[in-house]
């Protein structure tokens, strides 16, 4: 584990860009589906300091996976409570997938311009690298949050799909499951499956952005 100052600074940049998008998406979806609690509490914003969670931020800086403060959502206020809770949860990972796609497009366009113009600048190279790292980390954030473990977003999908009695059993042991997950994260046990799924998502993003590559090939 490399905890150099540069890595912490880079991690902080990623934390301040990826997490606000994720939490804003939760708040926006809840507001559109009938519950304005997040908007009224000031969470429907891209200001990262409205969303930072201490443990989630430290986890991100140490192991590259983290989370923000839970967005307040009250099921009784939603138009279709059980379904809409799932949609609100899925909005977070979905926003990170969209962010990954947009950043990869920006990265490809800027890279093509740099190569075509023959630019050789250390600052430009660092900027391109940071954009690429944020895109890849955003994909990893989406994958991590889709794990079917309370209180992660994937647990809401599990709640929607499972009978109430079955999900109640999972919630009964939520704290134990959560602690086990954190241990697996810190020890690196989850690294292999998370990396595999993240690479699959990045390959899908490459396919989605393939028209950009073809267009750039024509222009440059």
> DSSP assignment of 208-219, as one string?
HTHHHHHHHHHH
Q: What are phi and psi of 66, to 5 degrees?
A: -155, -170
Least confident of 9-18, 69-78, 119-128, 170-179: 170-179
Least confident of 95-99, 118-122, 139-143, 184-188: 184-188
Could you tell me if 59 and 182 are in contact, meaning their C-beta atoms sit under 8 angstroms apart? yes
Q: Rounded mean pLDDT of 145-160?
A: 89
Cα 180 from Cα 65, distance rounded (Å): 15
Q: Hey, what are 166's tokens? A: 């079955």
pLDDT cut 90: percent of the chain above it:
60
pLDDT digits (tens, 9 = 90+) for 53-102: 888 888 778 776 667 788 999 999 999 999 999 999 999 999 999 999 99
Of 1, 24, 103, which Cα lies nearest the Cα of 11? 1
Q: With 0-12 CB in 10 A as exposed, 13-18 as middle and 19+ as buried, what is 42? A: exposed
pLDDT cut 70: percent of the chain above it:
96
Could you tell me if 13 and 134 are in contact, meaning their C-beta atoms sit under 8 angstroms apart? yes
Catalytic residue from among 11, 15, 18, 23: 23
Phi-psi region of 71 (alpha: psi -120 to 50; beta: other; left: phi over 0): beta
Tell me the pTM.
Answer: 0.89
pLDDT digits (tens, 9 = 90+) for 201-212: 999 999 999 999
Predicted pLDDT of residue 2: 53
Predicted pLDDT of residue 3: 57
Predicted pLDDT of residue 89: 96
Q: Rounded mean pLDDT of 161-183?
A: 81
Cα 99 from Cα 146, distance rounded (Å): 16
Predicted pLDDT of residue 73: 94
DSSP 8-state code for residue 71: P
Least confident of 16-20, 122-126, 178-182: 178-182
DSSP 8-state code for residue 69: P
* Average pLDDT for the chain: 89
Cα 117 from Cα 23, distance rounded (Å): 38
Q: Please name the helix (run of DSSP H) or strand (run of DSSP E) that holds residue 198, with its range, or none.
A: helix 191-208
Domain boundaries, the chain: 5-219
Q: Hey, what are 1's tokens? A: 């584990």
Cα 78 from Cα 57, distance rounded (Å): 29
Q: Rounded mean pLDDT of 127-143?
A: 93
Give 181 or 134, the one with higher predicted confidence. 134
Q: Hey, what are 37's tokens? A: 């609690």
159 among known catalytic residues = no
Q: Hey, what are 76's tokens? A: 């009784």
């Amino acid at each position: 584990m490399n905890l150099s100052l540069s890595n912490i600074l880079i991690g902080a940049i990623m934390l301040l860009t990826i997490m606000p998008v994720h939490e804003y998406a939760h708040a926006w979806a809840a507001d559109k589906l009938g519950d304005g609690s997040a908007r009224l509490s000031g969470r429907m914003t891209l200001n990262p300091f409205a969303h930072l969670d201490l443990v989630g931020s430290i986890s991100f800086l140490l192991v590259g996976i983290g989370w923000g403060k839970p967005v307040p959502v009250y099921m009784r206020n939603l138009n279709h409570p059980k379904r809409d809770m799932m949609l609100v949860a899925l909005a977070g990972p979905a926003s990170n997938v969209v962010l990954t796609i947009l950043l990869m497009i920006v990265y490809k366009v800027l890279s093509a311009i740099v190569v075509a113009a023959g630019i050789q600048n250390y600052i430009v190279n660092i900027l391109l690298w940071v954009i690429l790292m944020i895109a890849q980390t955003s994909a990893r954030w989406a994958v991590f949050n889709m794990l079917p473990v309370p209180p992660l977003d994937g647990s809401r999908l599990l709640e929607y799909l499972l009978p109430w009695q079955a999900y109640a059993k999972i919630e009964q042991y939520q704290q134990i499951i959560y602690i086990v997950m954190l241990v697996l994260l810190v020890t690196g046990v989850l690294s292999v499956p998370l990396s595999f799924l993240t690479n699959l998502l990045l390959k899908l993003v490459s396919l989605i952005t393939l028209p950009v590559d073809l267009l750039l090939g024509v222009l440059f």
